[in-house]
Amino acid sequence: MPGHLEDGSLPTAVALVRGAVRLRPDLPALRYLGADRAVRAMSYRQVWSLSGHVAARLSGDVLAVAIDDGPYLGLAELAGWRRGMLLVPMDPHDPAARLRASAAEARASCAVAKDWGDARKLAGALDAPVLDLSAEVPLPPGEVPGPPPPEVPDTPAPPDAAAYLWFTSGSTGTPKGVLVSHRAFHNWCAVKNGPHGITARSTVLIASASTFDPSIGDIFATWAAGAVVAVAPRMLLFANLAWVIEQLEVTHVTCTPSLWQSLEAGAPSPALTTLCLGGERSPQPLLERWASRLRVLNTYGTTECTVWQTLRRVAPGDAATLAGRAYPGNAVRVLERGGLGPVPPGQPGEVVQGGVQVGLGYLNRPELTAERFVALPPLEGRWYRTGDGGRLLEGGALEVLGRFDSQVKIRGMRVELGDIEAGVVKAACGLLSSCAVVLRDSFLHAYCQVSASAAVMMHEPYCILPVVSDFLLQRSSLELPRHMLPSHFVLVKQLPLTPNGKVDSRQLPRAIEASRTGPSSVSLTALEAAVAGVWGEVLGRGGIGPNDHFLALGGHSLSVLQVSRRLLALAAAAGQDTAPTGTAAALLAPEKLIHLPRLRPYCQLLARGGLRLAPAEGGAGAARAPGGGAAPPSAAAGLR
């Protein structure tokens, strides 16, 4: 049958998973670390059965999947597709206003969450029923209560229908939704495994965030191979990636270079064979260090064209900009910037992508869709203009040179600076009239033009006021996801403009030492001094005081995990048990610092738990002297 697979089924990811279930019903499909850190597994038969249990509880056409990690993620996605639903991945930790706006634009008919807490938050943000999967299908699978639900026949959507809607950052402050078809996603699942060396004997760790499309891409491509999907709580993944890889017997992992750099030297497990890096440019030393130890793959791709589109196996000495050749079913060309004509090999231009994985366009954005998804006669089909600079080398390999516009990558997540700017102004309750955000030294700096009434109180062209910075950080966190929060807020009377009336980012003052006035004169306890020393080393700051805020100093999720590891080392030096299941590990878990980011309250929590630390080498904030000396080399430098 034209357009069908050999067994007569339609070319969808569900058909590929169904085939694996038939071939390997009692072999492991999912291996996961539970809340008690014990390793558990589910067979392909159990995955299929439990996803059917969830599917029977779903209704409507659009499913909001608000699950950030764990075994429920793949089960929910499979369940939604078995009902023919459009999947809309969401981060349950995003501000309620952002969740509400995305669900409304997608017209979500129902939502799923992994536990009662997330379900409760979603119920308050969405105008749709929310299913708590921990109540519907408790894990391990043998604990499913009561009789099974009535059998609901699969009603998969046709191949050319939209499979998922992925919201990415938008320049106007409103996220734009990318629609990808089942046929495009099926091609990804069918072509990924060969170049990655994934077979039925492989175990693939899902290390990407659930709101980053390599997550769903890795899950279903792995199941298409009949291999094992391995998952762990995100915070545990951040805190002890090597331990997770060893416990789950991982053979393949895809992640951002920033996350991989958090590993200590040496391969984390003898079982690991393949490391795939993507989402941001890899530092050259990272490639050099690992290319001789593992099969290292460098990938490039856009959400608009389904996960990844090019791949290169890295050899020692390869430049980090080399992105390789297109996966089967994909095509890459380089055009004149702003035009449709090709450029000669070796000459720079704009990267465009074609082939079966090109997406359907942007939800409710016909003008933007027509601008970015174009025809290139005499070439066949639609092509996506990426906005990335690049060039094709002799032999057809792609080299990616960077962005043409204001889009940046923040720890692998694609972000429009205009989206952040609009969120900050909206959150400021009338204090600001406009905002310009720039990425400098891997930190986001927000230059905030105050309203006319506030400007009369400023005696300098620009300044940093700690109380205002704290206010803007707190308010912005209600509008923006964590990875989009600026580290620094600088108040300005007037943003500098170019002759064309645009903000002149080159004229913006260098963001001064964060939202602080200088070293604190308040004395620290021994525990506070040790913690402050670690903060100073990781963040490259000195003079840290008891009321300093880790995020306002420039911290983020990856520097949080670096702090967690360094503090665990100090606890071990003080003679404390630092096993992953012990008290010290629980107290120093990354989420503790995220929830209590000020130094003194954080240290009070540690003290109540009985934590003892050996003194940090060099004392509090030793990484940078008050006079501004450079910090010593550390793994943290590569995380920012």
Span 263-287, pLDDT tens digits? 765 667 899 999 999 988 888 888 8
Residue 502's pLDDT is: 64
Q: Which two tokens stand for residue 161?
A: 């229908």
Question: Which CATH architecture describes the domain 13-398?
Answer: 3-Layer(aba) Sandwich (3.40)
Residue 510's pLDDT is: 53
Average pLDDT along the chain, 640 residues, taken 10 residues at a time? 53 94 96 90 96 95 97 98 98 92 95 96 92 90 53 83 90 81 98 98 96 96 99 86 94 90 73 93 84 94 97 91 95 88 90 97 97 92 94 91 74 77 87 84 82 65 68 88 84 73 70 43 87 92 84 76 90 88 86 85 94 72 32 25
- CATH 3.40.50.150 for domain 410-514, yes or no, is no
Which candidate, 342, 306, 274, 300, places its Cα nearest to that of 186?
Answer: 306
Residue 572's pLDDT is: 92
Q: Tell how far CA 237 is from the center of its chain.
A: 13
Q: Tell how far CA 254 is from the center of its chain.
A: 12
Residue 561's pLDDT is: 82
Alpha carbon distance 485, 517 (integer Å)? 21
Residue 580's pLDDT is: 75
Alpha carbon distance 492, 449 (integer Å)? 5
Alpha carbon distance 44, 418 (integer Å)? 44
Residue 461's pLDDT is: 59
Residue 630's pLDDT is: 29
Domain covering 526-609, topology: 1.10.1200
Residue 639's pLDDT is: 22
* b/e map 68-83, b = 16+ CB within 10 Å: bbbbbbbbbbbbbbbb
Q: At what angle do helices 13-23 and 214-224 cross, to 10 degrees?
A: 40
In the chain, count of helices (H) and strands (E)? 21, 27
Q: Tell how far CA 634 is from the center of its chain.
A: 23
Residue 2's pLDDT is: 41
Distances in Å between the Cα of 154 and the Cα atoms of 81, 189, 603 are 9, 20, 53
Q: Which residues, other chains included, contact 312 with Cβ-Cβ below 8 Å and sequence gap of 6+?
A: 297, 298, 299, 318, 322, 323, 324, 325, 397
* Same fold: 410-514 with 526-609: no
Alpha carbon distance 418, 406 (integer Å)? 8
The burial of 189, by beta-carbon neighbours within 10 Å (0-12 exposed, 13-18 middle, 19 or more buried), is given as buried
Query: Considering the entire predicted model, what is its pTM?
Result: 0.78
Look up residue 484 and give its DSSP letter: G
Q: At what angle do helices 214-224 and 182-196 cross, to 10 degrees?
A: 70
Residue 1's pLDDT is: 37
> Domain residue spans in the chain?
13-398, 410-514, 526-609
